[in-house]
C-alpha cells in the first residue's frame, strides 16, 4: 500500500516510499503535508529561542524579500504564477548529523510521517568532512508548494577515524544513546500501522519529534574524551559527545542573497566570507548560500566545563533546477575556480574568478530552455487558452513558446550542492585545520544504513517537467476537441 507511513516490517530498499500519496482515506487523519508544516514551524520557534540571532536573520530576510518583490514586478508575477509566494515565508531547511545506521534508519521513518523522503546522495569526504548525507524532503509538486521543509542529514563515517582505539570508543558511546523518545517511537509505529495520525496524535508527534533535535548543553563524556574526539575531527566530537543530533542551523530563503549578506554585519552577525554556489546572475540557477558563523557555547562535560561551536544560521537563494547537461556544465565551471579539496577557502579574487568562469553559462531563460540546460514547467498562457483550439495538437513546444501560447516557468531547485555544503560545514566547525580523506563515495553503504534507496534528484525534476508537458498536451487536445464539436 502506498500509505502515509511505510510499514516498518518492509523497509523499501527496492523501491521508493510514496509517503505523499494520501493515506488510507481515513478522514480523521491529518495529512502528512500538515504534519510537516506544523513540525517546521515548531522547529523554527524552538531554534529562535535557542539561538536568538536566528530570529534576527529571519526578520532580515523578510525585509529583504519584501523589498525585492516590490522592486521587481516580473519576479512577483512569476512567483505568484508558480504558487511560490505563499511558501516563501515558511520555507526553511535545517541540518543534523547522526552517528549510527540505526539512528539514520529511524530518522527515515520519522520523516516519512511528515511526507519527507530521502533525496540525493552527497559524499562530503572529498572535501575533508567525514560524513555522507541525504536530504529528507517532500517530492510531489503539491506537497512542495504547501511546505518544502527539508533536513540535510549526515551520517558520521566512523571508518574514517584512523586511531582504532578512538574509533571503538566513539562506537561504544554512540551504541549507548537513544536519540528518540519512547512516545515518538510509538507514534511512528502507530502511523505506519494505521496509515496516518489523528490531529491529537499529530500534535503529540510534533512535540515528541522536536525532542530529538533539541540542544543539550551537557555533554555525555568527560573533557578528555571530548578533546580526543575533537582532535580526530571537530565533527566527530559534535556527533558523538551529546545526547542527540541537535539541529545545527535553520535556513530561510531569500530573494536577494547579496543584499542579505551585506546587511548582516549591521544587525550584529558575523557573516561567512563568501557566498557558496554560482555567482550573482539575472537568472538564478541552483542554490547560493551564506551563513553567520557558529556561536561558541558553554558546555558541561561530566567532569569539567568547556566550549563547543556547532550552531549557526544560514540563508539561501534558490534558482532553477539544472538538467544533467546543465549540472555537468556547472560542475566543470566551478572546478575551474576552486579546488575540491579546499572547499570553503576564500582567495581574495574568488568572486571575480567565479564570475569570469560563469560567463560560459547562458544567463537568460530562453537560452537555458532552448539548450536543454534547465527544467521548466509549461502551461498555456491566456492567449494560448483562447487560441489553442485553432492549432494542431502535435505542434512543437518550440513553436508554442515562440507564438506566446505557452509559458515556461523555471522549476525551483529543491536540493543541495556538495561543494557548497562542504564550505558551510567548514566555516562553522571552528578551528582552522583542514583534514584530507581519500575520496570514496559509498552510496550503497549509505542506503543500506538508511534502509531505503535515495531518489535521484534530477529524475524528480525531469518527471515534474514531463507531467507539465503531458497536462499541456491534454489541454491542447481538449481545446481542439471542443473546437471541432
In the list 152, 376, 405, 437, the residue contacting ligand OOG (rule: CB under 6 A) is 152
Query: Which uninterrupted H or E stretch holds 287?
Result: strand 287-292
| Residue 104 touches ligand OOG, criterion: CB under 6 A | no
- Minimum distance of Ni ion from residue 312's CB (angstroms): 9
- Minimum distance of Ni ion from residue 6's CB (angstroms): 26
Long-range contacts of 366-373 (CB under 8 A, 24+ apart): 368/283, 368/285, 368/320, 368/326, 369/401, 369/408, 370/398, 371/325, 372/323, 372/325, 372/326, 373/322, 373/323, 373/325, 373/326, 373/329
- Minimum distance of Ni ion from residue 424's CB (angstroms): 6
Distance CA 306, CA 297 (A): 8
- Minimum distance of Ni ion from residue 421's CB (angstroms): 7
φ, ψ of residue 436 in degrees (nearest 5): -125, 135
For cell 541537535, name the residue.
246
Distance CA 351, CA 280 (A): 10
Cell digits of residue 196: 496516518
Distance CA 311, CA 445 (A): 28
- Determine how many CB atoms are found less than 10 A away from the CB of residue 296: 11
In the list 6, 92, 97, 455, the residue contacting ligand OOG (rule: CB under 6 A) is 97
Cβ-based nearer residue to ligand OOG, 23 or 416 = 416
291 binds, options Ni ion, ligand OOG, none, Cβ within 5 to 8 A by partner type: none
Q: Are 92 and 149 in contact (CB under 8 A)?
A: yes
Cβ-based nearer residue to ligand OOG, 6 or 92 = 92
Cβ-based nearer residue to ligand OOG, 125 or 154 = 154
Site for ligand OOG in 297-326 (CB under 6 A): 314
Q: Count of residues for the chain?
A: 485
In the list 147, 220, 230, 248, the residue contacting ligand OOG (rule: CB under 6 A) is 248
Cβ-based nearer residue to Ni ion, 153 or 232 = 153
Interaction site with Ni ion (CB under 5 A)? 95, 251, 314
108 binds, options Ni ion, ligand OOG, none, Cβ within 5 to 8 A by partner type: none
φ, ψ of residue 380 in degrees (nearest 5): -70, 140
| Residue 413 touches ligand OOG, criterion: CB under 6 A | no
Cβ-based nearer residue to ligand OOG, 289 or 379 = 289
Stretch of 192-200, 320-328, 365-373, 419-427 contacting ligand OOG, by CB under 6 A = 419-427
Cα-based angle 439, 234, 338 (whole degrees, multiple of 5): 45
Cα-based angle 125, 129, 131 (whole degrees, multiple of 5): 70
In the list 17, 79, 95, 271, the residue contacting ligand OOG (rule: CB under 6 A) is 95
| Residue 54 touches ligand OOG, criterion: CB under 6 A | no
In the list 20, 100, 420, 468, the residue contacting ligand OOG (rule: CB under 6 A) is 420
Q: Which residues are 11's β-sheet partners?
A: none
| Residue 215 touches ligand OOG, criterion: CB under 6 A | no
In the list 20, 53, 147, 154, the residue contacting ligand OOG (rule: CB under 6 A) is 154
Q: Which residues contribute to the site for ligand OOG (CB under 6 A)? A: 95, 97, 152, 154, 248, 289, 314, 416, 420-421, 424-425
Amino acid at each position: 500500500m502506498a500509505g502515509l507511513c511505510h510499514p516498518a516490517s518492509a523497509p523499501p530498499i527496492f523501491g521508493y516510499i510514496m509517503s505523499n500519496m494520501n493515506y488510507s482515506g481515513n478522514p480523521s487523519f491529518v495529512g502528512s503535508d500538515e504534519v510537516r508544516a506544523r513540525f517546521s514551524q515548531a522547529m523554527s520557534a524552538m531554534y529562535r529561542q535557542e539561538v536568538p540571532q536566528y530570529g534576527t536573520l529571519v526578520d532580515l530576510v523578510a525585509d529583504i524579500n519584501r523589498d525585492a518583490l516590490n522592486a521587481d514586478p516580473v519576479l512577483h508575477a512569476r512567483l505568484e504564477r508558480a504558487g511560490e509566494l505563499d511558501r516563501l515565508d515558511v520555507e526553511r531547511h535545517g541540518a543534523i548529523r547522526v552517528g549510527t545506521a540505526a539512528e539514520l534508519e529511524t530518522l527515515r521513518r520519522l520523516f516519512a510521517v511528515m511526507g519527507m523522503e530521502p533525496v540525493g546522495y552527497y559524499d562530503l569526504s572529498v572535501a575533508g568532512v567525514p560524513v555522507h548525507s541525504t536530504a529528507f524532503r517532500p517530492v510531489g509538486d503539491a506537497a512542495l508548494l504547501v511546505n518544502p521543509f527539508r533536513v540535510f542529514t549526515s551520517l558520521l563515517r566512523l571508518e574514517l577515524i584512523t586511531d582504532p582505539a578512538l574509533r571503538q570508543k566513539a562506537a561504544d558511546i554512540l551504541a549507548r544513546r537513544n536519540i528518540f523518545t519512547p512516545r515518538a517511537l510509538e507514534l511512528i509505529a502507530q502511523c505506519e500501522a494505521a496509515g496516518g495520525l489523528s490531529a491529537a496524535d499529530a500534535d503529540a508527534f510534533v512535540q515528541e519529534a522536536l525532542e530529538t533535535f533539541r540542544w543539550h548543553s551537557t555533554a555525555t563524556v568527560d573533557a578528555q574524551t571530548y578533546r580526543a574526539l575533537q582532535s580526530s575531527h571537530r565533527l566527530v566530537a559534535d556527533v558523538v559527545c551529546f545526547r542527540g543530533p541537535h539541529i545545527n542551523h535553520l535556513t530561510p530563503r531569500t530573494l536577494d542573497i547579496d543584499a542579505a549578506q551585506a546587511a548582516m554585519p549591521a544587525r550584529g552577525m558575523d557573516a561567512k566570507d563568501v557566498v557558496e554556489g554560482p555567482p550573482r546572475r539575472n537568472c538564478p540557477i541552483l542554490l547560493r548560500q551564506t551563513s553567520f558563523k557558529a556561536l561558541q557555547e558553554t558546555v558541561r562535560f561530566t567532569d569539567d566545563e568547556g566550549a563547543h561551536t556547532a550552531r549557526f544560521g544560514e540563508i539561501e537563494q534558490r534558482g532553477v533546477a539544472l538538467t544533467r547537461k546543465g549540472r555537468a556544465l556547472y560542475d566543470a565551471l566551478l572546478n575551474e575556480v576552486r579546488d575540491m579539496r579546499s572547499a570553503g577557502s576564500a582567495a581574495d579574487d574568488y568572486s571575480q574568478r567565479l564570475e569570469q568562469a560563469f560567463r560560459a553559462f547562458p544567463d537568460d531563460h530562453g537560452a537555458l530552455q532552448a539548450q536543454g540546460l534547465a527544467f521548466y514547467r509549461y502551461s498555456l498562457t491566456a492567449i494560448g487558452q483562447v487560441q489553442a483550439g485553432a492549432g494542431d495538437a502535435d505542434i512543437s513546444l518550440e513553436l508554442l513558446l515562440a507564438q506566446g501560447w505557452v509559458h515556461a516557468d523555471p522549476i525551483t531547485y529543491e536540493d543541495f550542492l556538495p561543494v557548497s555544503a562542504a564550505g558551510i560545514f567548514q566555516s562553522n566547525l571552528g578551528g582552522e585545520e583542514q583534514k584530507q580523506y581519500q575520496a570514496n563515495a559509498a552510496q550503497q553503504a549509505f542506503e543500506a544504513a538508511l534502509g531505503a534507496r535515495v531518489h535521484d534528484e534530477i529524475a524528480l525534476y525531469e518527471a515534474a517537467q514531463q507531467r507539465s508537458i503531458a497536462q499541456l498536451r491534454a489541454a491542447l487536445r481538449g481545446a481542439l476537441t471542443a473546437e471541432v464539436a
